Amino acid sequence: MSEASTGICLLGCGIVGGGVVKILTDQAELLRQRIGVRFDIRHVVVRDPKKHAATYPGLPLTTDAHAAIDDPKVQIVVELMGGTTAAGALVERALKLGKPVVTANKSLLASRGPELFALARKHNTAIAFEASCGGGIPIIDALSRGLVANRIDALVGIVNGTCNVILTRMTRNGWSYAQALQEAQKLGFAEADPTLDVSGRDAAQKLAILAGLAFNARVSEADIHVEGIDKLHPADIQFATDLGYVIKLLAIGERDAEGRLTLRVHPTLVHKTDVLAEVSGSFNAISIYGHALGHALFYGRGAGQMPTASAAVADLVGVATGTTQLAFKRLNIYPDSAAPAKVLPFEQLQSRYYLRLTARDVPGVLAQITHALGEHGISLSAVLQREADESQYVPVVITTHLARQGAMRAALQAIDALPTIQGPSVCLRVIDQPKEFANG
């Protein structure tokens, strides 16, 4: 690769693509000084060049992706178009030509990562994907290099900015989910169709990538238990607050002593003293627990034009200087070179729980509830009941000690079958810091 000039082809010029163009243009001198490389944007592949011509005068816009990728003057292909079908085919094309690919496409990597990394290896090239997780936070770099000396035991992250904006609004303003979503859409934080984000899938795709690197395992989206935030009731946010917790959508990966992984994304009660409880709005944060380092927190803007472009340009630099290719060749941490994850069935997950039951305000109800929990070996940690108003039903809120998910599911089935309970009851999980790190 020439030191003087490195030819780039950008696939897609939406929000993030525009940010990459801006950094490469505005910071050309800084980049040249730091790494001795001048990036040359040779082609920008878009669907409708007329739409972009006014915003980016002078940019080499084209609709011909194949010719752009194949151009011998293009040395790096940057895929920022999103989606999996067309993007996947173009990434393959670039890799087959031996051209390194920089991508922000977590859906593509979560669904076809092992295959694409193997293809890159076969053609003696590499894939760089810092922008796929955590926006501008250099978490991929940290997991691949900075933390490489650590056996990582847990990774707990807020990795979806949209959900965090919605949950922050619900918590601070006492809003419903629908109200908070509408506001997030109005402010441009949530998409018109927010399904991928609010269902938890976006976070699961990021967790698949991060957990793969953290635990040296091949993790697919299907390995992850996923629950979104779209069913969350403001009452649970209020009760959680009363109990000293904040509800966050967490992506959690943990390794047990036998090397089995639990992988999950769900709304979670986080104690207000946990650093993750303080992460609000569109910010992301990822807590990593390494055996040597202990707890480390990676915090920053998890989405948006310039933060994500910052990560993509960092990848461009890694590729242009050859460090990405070297790491790819030497480190056995990428999904094509890792063994499939040994995933603990979700029913065997050990967790603490938060329950909100709707119970008739009659004698003996609490005894029935605690009996059903006790029958399944579940021990109570706290109980909170408000006095009834005019309704004959009252909310009963319970937190538990550690119990298996399967036991909790069976206990809840028994509780919801009680004539004194109006089901379905709400069950959320409570997270504690890994024990070995909890006391400082």
> CB-wise, 191 or 375, nearer to ligand HSE?
191
- Cβ at position 311, least distance to ligand HSE in Å: 11
- Cβ at position 90, least distance to ligand HSE in Å: 20
Out of 79, 130, 197, 227, which residue is the one contacting ligand HSE (CB under 6 A)? Answer: 197
- Cβ at position 248, least distance to ligand HSE in Å: 13
- Cβ at position 162, least distance to ligand HSE in Å: 3
> CB-wise, 46 or 303, nearer to ligand HSE?
303
Amino acid at 290: G
Torsion of CA 164, 166, 167, 173, to 10 degrees: 130
| Contact code string over 296-335 relative to ligand HSE, x by CB under 6 A | ------xx--------------------------------
- Cβ at position 72, least distance to ligand HSE in Å: 33
> CB-wise, 141 or 197, nearer to ligand HSE?
197
- Cβ at position 131, least distance to ligand HSE in Å: 9
**Using rule CB under 6 A, residue 171 touches ligand HSE:** no
> CB-wise, 197 or 221, nearer to ligand HSE?
197
Q: Residue 156 in contact with residue 287, Cβ under 8 Å?
A: yes
Which residue stretch of 92-100, 160-168, 178-186, 385-393 sits at the interface with ligand HSE (rule: CB under 6 A)? 160-168
Out of 103, 105, 125, 160, which residue is the one contacting ligand HSE (CB under 6 A)? Answer: 160
**Using rule CB under 6 A, residue 194 touches ligand HSE:** no
The number of residues that bind ligand HSE (CB under 6 A) is 7
> CB-wise, 137 or 270, nearer to ligand HSE?
137
Tokens matching residue 411: 């206990």
- Cβ at position 128, least distance to ligand HSE in Å: 16
- Cβ at position 197, least distance to ligand HSE in Å: 5
Tokens matching residue 73: 């003057």
> CB-wise, 290 or 302, nearer to ligand HSE?
302
Q: Residue 154 in contact with residue 252, Cβ under 8 Å?
A: yes
| Contact code string over 117-156 relative to ligand HSE, x by CB under 6 A | ----------------------------------------
> CB-wise, 87 or 411, nearer to ligand HSE?
87
Which of positions 21-80 make contact with ligand HSE (CB under 6 A)?
none
Neighbouring-strand partners of residue 128: 102
> CB-wise, 78 or 303, nearer to ligand HSE?
303
Catalytic residue among 96, 99, 186, 206: 206
**Using rule CB under 6 A, residue 161 touches ligand HSE:** yes
**Using rule CB under 6 A, residue 110 touches ligand HSE:** no
Tokens matching residue 61: 């816009």
**Using rule CB under 6 A, residue 162 touches ligand HSE:** yes
106 is catalytic: no
Q: For the chain, what is the HEC assignment?
A: CCCCEEEEEEECCCHHHHHHHHHHHHCHHHHHHHHCCEEEEEEEECCCHHHHHCCCCCCCEECCHHHHHHCCCCCEEEECCCCCHHHHHHHHHHHHCCCCEEECCHHHHHHHHHHHHHHHHHCCCCEECHHHCCCCCCHHHHHHHHCCCCCEEEEEEECCHHHHHHHHHHHHHCCCHHHHHHHHHHCCCCCCCCHHHHCCHHHHHHHHHHHHHHHCEECCHHHCEECCCCCCCHHHHHHHHHCCEEEEEEEEEEECCCCCEEEEEEEEEEECCCHHHHCCCCEEEEEEEECCCEEEEEEEECCCHHHHHHHHHHHHHHHHCCHHHHHHHHCCCCCCCCEECCECCHHHCEEEEEEEEEEECCCCHHHHHHHHHHHCCCCEEEEEECCCCCCCEEEEEEEECCEEHHHHHHHHHHHHCCCCECCCCEEEEEECCCHHHHCC
Which of positions 198-237 make contact with ligand HSE (CB under 6 A)?
202
Q: Name the site residues for ligand HSE (rule: CB under 6 A).
A: 160-162, 197, 202, 302-303
Residue numbers annotated as active site: 206
